[in-house]
């Protein structure tokens, strides 16, 4: 009789061990841990943010769109806008951005995000980009002087 009770307890302990081991796996499948969110900005707020970054009047930023993506490991702000070349030159100089060749790898790693319909950095058709650091943030900029169109990524 005691042997049957011991075997019963052993079976319960083993089954309980399997359940406890599989619970996190099943839980992560059922309740996806998507700790990311996206915040779309209104044009006025986007213009104000760009004006602050570029240290220029917000009226100089036209057709401005922006989005902030909050992910587990970082926050990424993406801006698309039009502005005169002198504003961009002053920004590049003030932030001490370095010009680099815009390779397919750099475009894919830094700029491409297919989840945002209006985000088209490759449409600028540039061969170079500017990058640098400012207060623990990475700034990445592509600017087309002919169309006066720019995209800015802040990570």
Residues spanned by the domain of 16: 1-33
Are residues 59 and 3 part of one domain? no
Are residues 55 and 129 part of one domain? yes
Are residues 46 and 96 part of one domain? yes
d(CA 27, CA 22): 8
d(CA 63, CA 118): 12
Are residues 134 and 73 part of one domain? yes
Are residues 74 and 14 part of one domain? no
CA distances from 18 to 23, 26, 62, 150 (A): 8, 12, 59, 55
Per the structure, the count of domains in the chain is 2
Are residues 128 and 53 part of one domain? yes
Are residues 22 and 46 part of one domain? no
**Per-position pLDDT tens, the chain of length 155:** 667 767 777 777 777 666 556 566 665 555 554 556 777 778 789 999 999 999 999 999 999 999 998 888 888 999 999 999 999 999 999 999 999 999 999 999 999 887 888 888 989 999 999 999 998 999 999 999 999 999 999 99
Are residues 148 and 92 part of one domain? yes
Are residues 110 and 46 part of one domain? yes
List b or e across 84-99, with b for residues whose CB sees 16 or more CB atoms inside 10 angstroms.
Answer: eeebbeebbeebebee
């Amino acid at each position: 009789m005691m042997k049957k009770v011991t075997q019963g307890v052993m079976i319960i302990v083993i089954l309980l061990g399997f359940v406890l081991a599989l619970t996190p796996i099943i839980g992560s499948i059922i309740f996806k841990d998507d700790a990311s969110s996206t915040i779309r900005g209104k044009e006025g707020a986007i213009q104000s943010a760009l004006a602050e970054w570029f240290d220029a009047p917000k009226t100089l930023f036209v057709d401005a769109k922006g989005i902030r993506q909050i992910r587990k490991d970082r926050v990424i702000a993406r801006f698309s806008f039009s502005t005169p070349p002198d504003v961009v030159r002053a920004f590049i100089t003030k932030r001490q951005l370095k010009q680099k060749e815009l390779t397919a790898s750099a475009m894919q790693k830094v700029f491409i995000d297919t989840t945002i319909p209006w985000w088209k950095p490759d449409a600028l058709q540039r061969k170079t980009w500017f990058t640098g650091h400012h207060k623990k943030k990475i700034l990445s900029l592509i600017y087309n002087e002919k169309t006066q169109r720019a995209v800015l990524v802040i990570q």
